[in-house]
Structure 1
Amino acid sequence: MDSIINLQDITFTYDIDTPRPALSEVSLEIKRGEWVAIIGHNGSGKSTLAKTINGLLLPQSGSIQVGNMDLNEGNIWDIRKMVGMVFQNPDNQFVGSTVEDDVAFGMENQGIPREEMLVRVADALEQVRMSDFKTREPARLSGGQKQRVAIAGVVALRPDIIILDEATSMLDPEGREEVIATIKKIKEQSNLTVLSITHDIDEAANANRVLVMKEGRLIDEGTPEKIFSAGPKLVELGLDLPFPEKLKAALKARGIPVPAEYLTEEGMVDWLWTSVLNK
């Protein structure tokens, strides 16, 4: 896979009088088609990092490359067309009086012809399973439905990259599962690159790779299995543990031998069934 995002020694400070930068010499590479999760406690720099990738914030030093373009004031709008962002609160993204009007809004700003717009709106709503709600007012939808409409608005713009900036944090478990399933489906269909900024460890477990941030620095990276197997270290960073790791800790405290390696929920069920329940 070729690289689609490349950051080299990014440093960003909101206020020059602040003793610690929001980002400090961060370097990373994201391959086309990857799903990368960025985790860390509040103030670790996750959302700031996301906003530098599409030029909402410009770093004081370092370089950013998206696609084959170096991010600068001359091509910032071309890069923003490549990067779609879905934020924490979908209500803050709605501008249309109906669902289909809202999905069309971004395309109107880009001057896309009406005939093509209609096709894209229908296609995007179909992808997020919201076609039956196209004439509804966004305000009357559930939280999960609202976020799926917000995703449709981004998908209709046909970006190469989608950034989920705490996009599931305000949803209940059912709504969270809806949104993650939607992103998975769209990613597979369109070979999207997904960057997920999240506190939700179960959401991060869907990623190909997890980046861990602390105080503006990238301190670790690896597969979900590698990152989540270091349970106590995650707790020290103020992060939660995936449910299988919590269950392993509880079983270990009761004197039951548990696997050392990280287990997904499916892996935990298989292990419980074969090694514990059948004994």
Structure 2
Amino acid sequence: MEPIVKLENITFMYQPEDSHPAIKQVSLQVYPGEWIAIIGHNGSGKSTLAKTINGLLLPAEGKVSVAGQYLSEENIWTIRKAVGMVFQNPDNQFVGATVEDDVAFGMENQGIPREEMVKRVKDALEQVRMSEFATREPARLSGGQKQRVAIAGVVALRPDIIILDEATSMLDPEGRYEVIEAIKKIKEESQLTVISITHDIDEAANANRIFVMKQGQLVKEGTPEDIFSEGPKLIELGLDLPFPEKLKQVLKDQGLAVPDYYLSEEGMVDWLWTSVLNK
């Protein structure tokens, strides 16, 4: 299978005279239908990396390939049609007076016929479970609802890839859960490729693979099990540990023999029930 996104030794500097590039010699590949998480502490370069994928930032060195095309000034708008982005603050993305107007806005800019637009707005709002809010003002929605509308606006454009650029970082736990569940549903129904830029370890746990950034460089790559089993090494990188790993450490400190391998929350519940509580 050919990668849908391929970065080849890309380097980016915000100022030509910068001695420390925001991204330095990063190479990675993302395959169709994957959920990829890119994690790292603030300033690690993960959001800068996301913006190079759809041409919001052009690398000083290296190549970016999306859907089989190398990014250039000539095809940048074609690439952007293939890559939808959902940003941190949904309020900065709203332009319509109502939810349905806002979802339709991007399609109007692309000249999509009205009959097709109406259908896509309806479908997109159904996918994020916001149909009943179609005629509401976006400003009157909760944080999680606003972000789901922002996702619907991107989904209606039918991209091949959705990038979530810290899209849940301003939300409370309930809003974060709403957004992640909406993305899971859309990914399954539409076979989208999802790239999540996040510092939320629990969000990253949904990914097929995780890339870890540090000081502009890609320092680790693997499945959630591979990455989270690093334990204290993640903390050294300025990252948190998932709740099951924290619980394992507490239990280990209490003298309990705990598995060395990574456990999801569901796996932790099963292990506690079968190996500890039933003894």
Structures share fold, TM-score greater than 0.5: yes
Measure the CA separation in 1 of the matches of 2:130 and 2:63.
Answer: 39
Match of 1:75 in 2: 75
User: Could you state the TM-score of these two structures normalised by the residue count of structure 2?
Assistant: 0.99
Cα displacement (A) at 1:278? 1.1
Partner of 2:194: helix, strand, or coil? Answer: strand
Instruction: State the 4+ residue runs in structure 1 displaced beyond 2 angstroms.
Output: none
Equivalent residue runs for 1:40-55 within 5 Å:
40-55=40-55
- Structure 1 residues 166-195: Cα deviation after superposition (integer angstroms, max 9, x where no partner): 000111111111111100110011110000
Residue identity in the other structure for 2:35? W
Match of 1:241 in 2: 241
Measure the CA separation in 2 of the matches of 1:119 and 1:194.
Answer: 23
Residue identity in the other structure for 1:175? G
Structure 1 unaligned segments of length 5 or more: list them: none
Residue identity in the other structure for 1:162? I
Cα displacement (A) at 1:277? 0.8
Equivalent residue runs for 1:126-275 within 5 Å:
126-275=126-275
Residue identity in the other structure for 2:160? D
Provide the identity percentage. Answer: 77
Structure 2 unaligned segments of length 5 or more: list them: none
Residue identity in the other structure for 2:222? G
Residue identity in the other structure for 2:140? R
Partner of 1:274: helix, strand, or coil? Answer: helix
CA RMSD between the two structures:
0.6
Cα displacement (A) at 1:16? 2.3
Measure the CA separation in 2 of the matches of 1:199 and 1:216.
Answer: 15
Aligned residues: 279
Partner of 1:3: helix, strand, or coil? Answer: coil
- Structure 1 residues 214-239: Cα deviation after superposition (integer angstroms, max 9, x where no partner): 00000010000000000101101111
Measure the CA separation in 1 of the matches of 2:52 and 2:172.
Answer: 29
User: Could you state the TM-score of these two structures normalised by the residue count of structure 1?
Assistant: 0.99
Match of 2:110 in 1: 110
Measure the CA separation in 1 of the matches of 2:128 and 2:168.
Answer: 15
Match of 2:27 in 1: 27
- Structure 1 residues 227-253: Cα deviation after superposition (integer angstroms, max 9, x where no partner): 000010110111110000000011111
Measure the CA separation in 2 of the matches of 1:249 and 1:143.
Answer: 34
Cα displacement (A) at 1:68? 1.2
- Structure 1 residues 115-156: Cα deviation after superposition (integer angstroms, max 9, x where no partner): 110000000001000000000000000000000000000000
Measure the CA separation in 2 of the matches of 1:180 and 1:172.
Answer: 12
Measure the CA separation in 2 of the matches of 1:211 and 1:19.
Answer: 24
Q: Is residue 97 from structure 1 mapped to residue 121 from structure 2 by the alignment?
A: no
- Structure 1 residues 74-130: Cα deviation after superposition (integer angstroms, max 9, x where no partner): 000000000000000000000000000000000011011111100000000010000
